[in-house]
Every structure is written in structure tokens, then in C-alpha cells.
Chain A
């Protein structure tokens, strides 16, 4: 079902493209030897190159190039063996040289794609137009002094990848799914930590609207620097609504840059008319064109980890998990690894059920992540083994898992300590059932006269009498036999 907004003149379709700025994971900055680490005392992660001192020159960091190529491979994109760095000229307090070094005319990565899964189970392909490397700016701090802004250049020169999507996104949900998927790919490859709170992933959102069936795009607005997936989705919604109102009132939407205010849930124009930008891009004469070898690209490709889509396909084929289960299990590499550790040597289907159910519930309850899970993959595998070999039944296993989370003891130790071993002795089961039937002769009569539903009652009573330890299959089988006597 296509996403539509209904205005006073009928339905509208939205058209969205995203420009994601992802901070490259590297030790040093894009063009200097200063640390790229987040934080640090003000102006300490700064070299004289970053601060734009006279005569200082940029030298490109190889790892940042490799990270861009890896990301490009992860987006199944064209890798441009020839690319170039340009200067984008503008004045700002946190831009020391008066220009940002970026790749304008010749980006390192060309067209690629991202597959996104939607809630209704469908999949959409969102095109990636390009990915290029550029420098981050420093930070202006406005709230420390009534008349002055303070400048910290620690971020200045840190490598960013700008990943530009095609205007293929048609709903806030798709935008969210695209961002999540992109972040997942970056994290898998290890090229960006995707930490939006620290600003290591930010998005500029291009929004326009049109009537369904229109083939041309209408004027778009760019919402700058949105720093969470939720805000991106909200911003699209309110901006689309605003534009629809403008069109429907007979006005026209101006191409402009806007800011999203999540408190007021509105977008605001950032435009100041007299200050039109003219970035005067030209090739940076301090740098040579970037020429990379196909053989190096091939090496990087060979060393890439398994990517989310491939991993899902493999888990589905190898372990028989469903499309939905594979999407949850592959959200993070660590989860998929955890699952595989459990599934190897256990019932893989059972493992998927337990991970998605009780295990994730236990993580949520304890506020722990997969990395510091209170139960190890080996521990969970042991527990599932006890179910499979009929040592305990599923219901008892839930109790054992809770105990494992609480005490850190192993499943078998808990089973022994609490005496939870399942009763498979048919004699004991038969004797327990006979006691129940003897105590409920009226119900036995009712059952025999056709009230089949009472079977469940007898199962429940039997299990209760056996403190839950009865082997469910044997209990059922014996009950059926005795009731038909």
C-alpha cells in the first residue's frame, strides 16, 4: 500500500532523498595526523594543518580511503578508480581554512543501492547516487558567553562520508528503514559506528510532494542536520504537510534550506536572502587526483565481512529461520554470531524461537546488550539441549532461564539444584493420573459423554500435581489411554 497524505484537494505522494553524513572510523583525521577520536579537551585533537596555519598542507589518510571503498562495496556501488578533491569555499568560524575539502565533481563512489524491509513484509530498493569523502568542521559553542561564540576545532578535519540517496523514498517509514539499513551496513563493515547521539551519523533530508501519477518532481526543500531516525521521520511528515498546504493554498514552494524543530514539530526556513551561497568549487591544488588500483579494491573486497543481506540468506538456508527471524537476528553482527553459536549443536529452529522470545525479553528486562548478555551463547545452547533431550520441558526451561539470568549458574546445575528433571517414568505418570481421575469422577463422566474440552483440564491437573515436571507427550499419551479405559 502506497503512503499517501490526504489534503483538501485529494491525495499527495511524498518524494524524499537523504544525504547522510557518516563519520569514518579511523585513528587520525582525513588530511592530518591529529586524533579523530570523539571528545577530548577543547582544541587538543588539532594539528596546525587542521587549524589552517600558513603553509600547512593536507596529506590524505589511506585508511579513510579504504573505509570509503569498503562502504561502497557494501552498497554494491561503482568504485571510481579516479576521484578528486575539490575545495568548497565559504567563511565560517569553525572552518579554519575558509574552505572544506570535499569531492564535488569526481566522488570516489558512484551508484549503488540499499535494500530495505518494510513492516508489511515487502522489500524496496533505494538507489544510492554517490558517496564521497570530505572534512568535518569544528564546533561553535554559543551558550557559554552572552556576546561571543567559542570555537573548538577538535572535529575539524575528521573524515566524513557523505552518502547521497536517489529521491526514491516515498514514506517516512521507508526513510527510517533506509537509515536503519544503512547504519546496519556501516556497522557491519566497521566504517562508521552509527552513533547518532555523538553526531557520527547525521542526515540532510530533501522533501518534495506531488500528486500521484505526476512524473516530474516539484520543488524540494532541504532539512539540514537531523540527528535521529525518529526526527527524520517526523520532519518528513511535517514538512510534507507544510508543502501540501502551500500548494493547496495556491502558493509555490521555494527551494530553500530549513531546520527541524522537534519540540514544536515544525520546520523553519534558514534562508537569508542576501547571503546566497556560491561555493566556488575547484580542484584542490594541494592534493593530487586520487588514483586507486583495482587490485587493491579486490583485496578490500575479499576481506569484507559477510554483509547483512548475505547473512540473512545464509541463515535462512542453513538454519531454516524465517525471513522475519533472519531480519531480527541480523540487526547486529553480534546477535547473528550469538545465534549461530547457539544454533550450532542445538535445534536451530528452537534456538531462533528462544532468541526472539524469552532471551530478548530477558535482555530487555535486565537492560543488557548482546555484548554483555547475562547468559552466554554456550549457556543458552546447553539449556536448549536439555529441552531437546527431554531432560526438562519448555515450561520448566523458562524458569531455568530466569534463574540463569539471576544467578549466572548453568542450566544443568539449576535443574539439578531445583530437581527440575522431567519425569519420564510412565509408572509415576500413570499413578499421578489415576489419582487425578479418581478425585474427579464427575468430570471423567462428562468427558466420556462427549465434552472433549475437559482433556486440557486433566493435563493441567496432572502437570500441577507433578510440579510441572511431567513429560508433556507422555502425560498426553497416558491420559488418553486411561480415559478411554
Chain B
């Protein structure tokens, strides 16, 4: 037996804390490796990504030719009268930013976590748990940004963009994606089986339908208006709609703050939970 090196006994959580904290402070270089991995995979299946863009487009067209004609015009956020299609288009952009982020952060992550065991291999390398969380969220955001940019372009071509403020829609779409991806991943870390994903659908559908997406907030009775204003997608929809129509006020900052806090909180829970799940 050789002589003992200088050793101090550490509390068992030491490893976990050490692995979660330093990479977060060092920034995203290692997180970028996860993005690189996903790019490698999607180089072959880019057509799947490309096709994902059509869903919000179909919704926009359906509203343009169909429901828009039935409704006619509505009162926009700044009190101006706009076409129903111009009213719904920014809300569809915000909703699809949410949908894409949630889908990536729940179904895809759960598959990688429980079945493909991607992260088990990754964590045997210098890449840490927070790198994994940041990397996967970044990937979801990159995809989401591409979708949002194309959708915004289509809106512009169809004459549905009413203000130069609309240039800020893109970073806002990234913020919406970040907020929902982070919370979605946190929720995924608690999922036990595919059955639990029924609850994801049950949470996303009412957000999609009731966040003043398809009709103005004033359609609701006052009590319900308060409740809607507490939900996250409402802030995304209101923010994108304000920028798109040019009716921007200080209230926009409240929306930004809400979404940012939600994202950071989700990320913190995700890092802790992933460490708990993977570093046992």
C-alpha cells in the first residue's frame, strides 16, 4: 500500500454542485457541442425540420381565406381597426414559438433521456449537466428562430406587418421559446412514462386557445381577463401583437420580464433535476 495522498472527505453533494456550477459560469462552449451533435443528426433529416414550418402557415391561410372572412375586422391593441388575419397572425407566431419549444423540450428530450440514453454517454466526458440543459435549449431556440423568421417573412409578404417595431419580433420569439423550453425541460425531468405526456397536451391546448390568440382579451368577462393575464402565452401573444401593430408601450417590459423570469426559473430547476436523474 502506498502512502495516502492529501485527501479531504467531501459531502456527497459536492460532485453535483461542482458539476452544475462552473460550466454555467464558464459559458456555453461545451453546451455548443450538444448543438453540434444535433446538427449532425438533422443534416440527414432536415426535411422534417423544413416541414414543421407548414403547420402555422396552414393555420394562417385557413384564417385568411375562411374565418377571417366570417369575422371581418377587429379592434387592435392600439385601438385601431385591423383585419382579423392581421390580428391573429402575430398570435400564431407566438403560439408556434411556444409549441416548437415545448415539443422539443418534452417529447424529444424524454426520448433522449430515457430511451436513446444520449446523455449517459455525454456525461462521461467533460461536458456537464448544465451544458446539456443549455445545449438542448439552444438547439430548440435555433430551430424556433428559423421558423419564426420564415413566418415573419410570409406575414410581411401578405401585408400583415404594420410597423418597423416588427423587427423586434424575432428576439421576442426567441425569448418565448426560451421560457417554454426551460419550463418544458423541467417538467420532462419529472415524467415517468409516455402516459404523462397527455398532461403536456392538456396544458398546451388551453394556452393556445385562450391566450387572446383568436379574439381580443376584452371578449372575456373582467374576472376571466385577470386570469388570462396571469398565464404565460398571453404575455408572448400580447408582446408580439404590440410590436407587429406598432402599439408599443411600457407594458411591453412587463411581458419581457415575465417571460425572462419564467425561463431562468425553468433552467435552474432543469439543471438540478437532470443532475439528480443522471448523476446518481
Do these two chains really belong together in a complex?
no
